[in-house]
Structure 1
Amino acid sequence: MQKLFYDGSCRLCQREINWLSDKLKPHLELVDISHTDFSGYQGVSKAAMMQQIHLWQDDHFLIGIDATLHYWQLAGHHWLVAILRFAPCYWVASKAYNLWAAKRNRCTDGYCPTDTQPK
């Protein structure tokens, strides 16, 4: 089974997973990597997984925007994925995801600049 590794301590990440979970659960095992007992998977550390979203598919990882597009496709958002896979849109989506991921990783003390309110 495919596995989606997400950061449940990130409010935006958790909202997205909650919104899509019913559509994803038939296809993916959802793994919250924010739990203290999670240390990594298939040779990839928890720290590395906290940098970008990871999705295990068969024998390899999809990471970042590629993982996101894959699980959006599984959730039934085919038209959105088709648009974002178009070369110019993919480039913009990839850059936007990377900027968001870098900003999200500056979270400290339960507060994240991307959250709408502190914890």
Structure 2
Amino acid sequence: MSDKVRLFYDGSCKLCRHEINYLSPKLRHKATLVDISAEGFTGFEGIGKSAMMAQIHLWDGSRFIIGLAATLYYWRLAGMRFLPWLLELPVVNPLANKAYQYWARKRARCTDNHCDLR
């Protein structure tokens, strides 16, 4: 098992790629960025590519963190403080999780530089 933090993202999703391009300088020495849309990627530590395409995965060195929790984790690694704090408030977090799950289901249409979230 690898003990290094790895963020698995979909490089075929324009919005996902934009966020990673913005955050990558801040994450450079803290996490390995893995484009799961790359040719030959099949999975990591028993989790397959299709599961990783369904929602974002982050390997913290010993386990996977998935979905909004993964996003909040790597935002903190990148130095963001306010937004993760806000999205973890007890009143906000359930709504933020629902919004993330909605986005994750619709994001499947966000490949090859085209996003249709309808």
1:92 to 92, 95, 98: 95
Unpaired segments of 5 or more residues in structure 2? Answer: none
Q: Please give the alpha-carbon distance, in whole angstroms, between the structure 2 residues aligned to 1:65 and 1:17.
A: 15
Alignment partner of 1:80: what SS? helix
| 2:77 aligns with one of 74, 97, 101 | 74
TM-score by length of 1: 0.90
- Kindly provide the amino acid, as one letter, of the partner of residue 98 in structure 2: K
Give the paired residue count. 114
Q: How does 1:26-65 map to 2 (within 5 A)?
A: 26-65=29-68
- SS across alignment from 1:66: helix
Runs of 4+ in 1 over 3 A off after TM superposition: 106-111
> Quick check: 2:12–2:111 contact (8 Å CA) kept in 1?
no
Q: Taking structure 2 as the reference length, what is the TM-score of the superposition? A: 0.90
What amino acid does structure 1 have at the position aligned with 2:108?
N
Q: CA deviation at 1:32?
A: 0.3
- The alpha-carbon deviation at position 80 of structure 1 amounts to 1.3
What is the identity percentage for the equivalent residue pairs of Structure 1 and Structure 2? 52
Q: Which residue of 2 aligns with 1:117?
A: none
CA spacing shift, 1:109–1:77, aligned 2, 3 Å = closer
